[in-house]
Amino acid sequence: MSLTLRGVESRYGDSQVLFGMDLTVGAGEVATLLGRNGMGKTTTVRAIMGLQPVSAGEIRFNDTAIANRPAYRVARAGIGLVPEGRHVFPNLTVRENLVATAARRRNAGGAGAPWDFDRVIALFPGLAARLDSMGDQLSGGEQQMLAIGRALMTNPSLLILDEATEGLAPLIRTEIWRCLESLKAARQSILVIDKNVAALARIADRHHIVEKGRIVWTGDSAALLANPDIQTRYLGV
């Protein structure tokens, strides 16, 4: 499994947002996309998922060009998205949210058994008591767990999380990081956007920092933590 972006450009009308975006996620790798708000992180995710037109450059997934493919074809190719804002189905129960997205294909992105209903509930036992609750009756943290579980039910080769822990209570954030550590141990390929550099540094193999629509720094966790000037300049920490 591999995802590669080379020279990707994208715009909203006359406003260009991505200016030659380069990014790579390898098989079994946890990679991050870091940067201040408004720098192009979510636009990059939308471009990958076929939700945002690409005007130049290429996006390849498993050696297949996917730029400007319809979103459903990108999802069928094996990319699962946990979007910013979660967007669970409000008028479906927790059980129905999970079953609605189930795909029988084997998870090519990691070792072990494919993801199914029982395995997702084992990962997020807090959802077990809410199976008959509607999506809009859940707390923000429960919705995020459900959104991750829903994406896993598609058995993706690559899982993308946009703002993995934004707006969540500290205990829920800890639960999400525990989940991601478990997925990493299972060799699930992940691209994650979040602002918690310390937590990301514990699980990520590679970091990409974006500034004004292009990658300005790439390196591993040791290099990122050893370079406070980079963090101050581009992340505002």
| Max CA pair span of the chain | 49
Report phi then psi at 204, rounded to 5: -90, 145
Confidence class of residue 237 from pLDDT cuts 50, 70 and 90? low
Residue 107 pLDDT more than 60? no
Q: Residue 138: CB partners within 8 Å, gap ≥ 6?
A: 88, 94, 130, 146
Q: What is the dihedral of CA 48, 187, 145, 91, to 10 degrees?
A: 50
Report the pLDDT value the prediction gives residue 1, as an integer from 0 to 100: 75
Residue 99 pLDDT more than 90? yes
Report the pLDDT value the prediction gives residue 105, as an integer from 0 to 100: 66
pLDDT digit string, tens, across residues 167-188: 999 999 999 999 999 999 999 9
- C-alpha–C-alpha distance, residues 3 and 25, integer Å: 5
Mean pLDDT within 42-47: 97
The CATH code of the domain that includes 86 is 3.40.50.300
Mean pLDDT within 20-36: 97
Query: Across all residues in the chain, what is the average pLDDT?
Result: 93
Report the pLDDT value the prediction gives residue 112, as an integer from 0 to 100: 61
Residue 236 pLDDT more than 60? yes
| Beta-sheet pairing, 3-12 with 15-25 | antiparallel
Determine the structural domain holding residue 191 and report its residue range.
Answer: 3-234
pTM over cut 0.85: yes
Q: Which two tokens stand for residue 188?
A: 């699930």
pLDDT digit string, tens, across residues 1-16: 799 999 999 999 999 9
Looking at the structure of the chain, the number of domains it has is 1
- C-alpha–C-alpha distance, residues 235 and 175, integer Å: 24
* Residues of the chain above pLDDT 70, percent: 96
Residue 63 pLDDT more than 80? yes
